[in-house]
């Protein structure tokens, strides 16, 4: 394989730099536009509370979510060392990931339900709906794990009986 001439490399590099610069300019422009909309739509009191809320989100992430995620991942890795467990690790990880994501999305609805001046803003029973969603995620995860376990058992029984490759 021959190397391209230096002139081609320079033209590719300059094209890459131009595209990246253009994307950076568009990104900064969109960010400034969003900042302008934020400053127009929020009151001074809300602008003071916003950094506090963001700091709370960072603290909750660093001191609660990250240690919880690392701990669960470590326990799952330790559990997967056992015989036959490595097959279901992906299913359990996926189930935990979906349960965690849907919980993070549902937390604001669960915390604000029934509060406020207008009771029609959050009229549904979000706790019940969230619990049903989590139960569905766990049920599907268990069903997938059972199907995987049965397929594995079927493969083992065929291999032990000598019925490999259609013989």
Interval 84-128: pLDDT, tens: 666 678 888 889 889 988 988 888 878 877 666 666 666 778 889
Would the pLDDT of 155 be above 60? no
Which pLDDT does position 116 carry in this prediction? 65
- The full 3-state SS of the chain, as one line of letters, equals CCCCCHHHHHHHHHHHHHHHHHHHHHHHHHHHHHHHHHHHHCCHHHHHHHHHHHHHHHHHHHHHHHHHHHHHHHHHHHHCCCCCHHHCHHHHHHHHHHHHHHHHHHHHHHHHCCCCCCCCCCCCCHHHHHHHHHHHHHHHHHHHHHHHHHHHHHHHHHHHHCCCCCC
In this structure, the answer to whether residues 94 and 72 fall within a common structural domain is: no
| pTM of full prediction above 0.85 | no
Interval 132-150: pLDDT, tens: 999 999 999 999 988 887 7
In this structure, the answer to whether residues 90 and 135 fall within a common structural domain is: yes
In this structure, the answer to whether residues 61 and 109 fall within a common structural domain is: no
Domain span at 68: 44-80
Q: Which letter does DSSP use for residue 123 in this model?
A: -
Which pLDDT does position 131 carry in this prediction? 95
Q: What is the Rg, in whole angstroms, of the alpha carbon atoms belonging to the chain?
A: 26
Q: What is the mean pLDDT of the chain?
A: 82
In this structure, the answer to whether residues 9 and 48 fall within a common structural domain is: no
Would the pLDDT of 22 be above 90? yes
Would the pLDDT of 159 be above 60? no
Q: Which letter does DSSP use for residue 3 in this model?
A: P
140: exposed, middle or buried (Cβ count in 10 Å: 0-12, 13-18, 19+): middle
Would the pLDDT of 161 be above 50? yes
Which of helix, strand or coil describes residue 115?
A: coil
Would the pLDDT of 160 be above 80? no
In this structure, the answer to whether residues 33 and 64 fall within a common structural domain is: no
Would the pLDDT of 62 be above 70? yes
Instruction: Please state the domain count of the chain.
Output: 3
In this structure, the answer to whether residues 75 and 124 fall within a common structural domain is: no
């Amino acid at each position: 394989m021959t190397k391209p001439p230096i002139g081609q490399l320079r033209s590719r590099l300059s094209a890459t730099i131009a595209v990246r610069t253009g994307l950076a300019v568009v990104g900064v422009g969109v960010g400034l536009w969003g900042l302008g909309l934020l400053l127009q739509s929020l009151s001074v009191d809300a602008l003071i509370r916003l950094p506090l809320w963001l700091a709370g989100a960072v603290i909750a992430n660093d001191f609660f979510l990250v240690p919880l995620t690392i701990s669960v991942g470590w326990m799952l890795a330790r559990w997967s060392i056992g015989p036959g467990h490595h097959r279901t690790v992906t299913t359990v990880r996926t189930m935990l990931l979906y349960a965690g994501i849907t919980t993070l999305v549902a937390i604001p609805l669960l915390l604000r339900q029934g509060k406020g001046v207008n009771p029609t803003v959050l009229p549904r029973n979000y706790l019940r709906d969230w619990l049903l969603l989590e139960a569905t995620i766990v049920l599907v995860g268990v069903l997938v794990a059972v199907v995987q376990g049965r397929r594995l058992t079927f493969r083992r029984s065929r291999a032990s009986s000598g019925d490999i490759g259609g013989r």
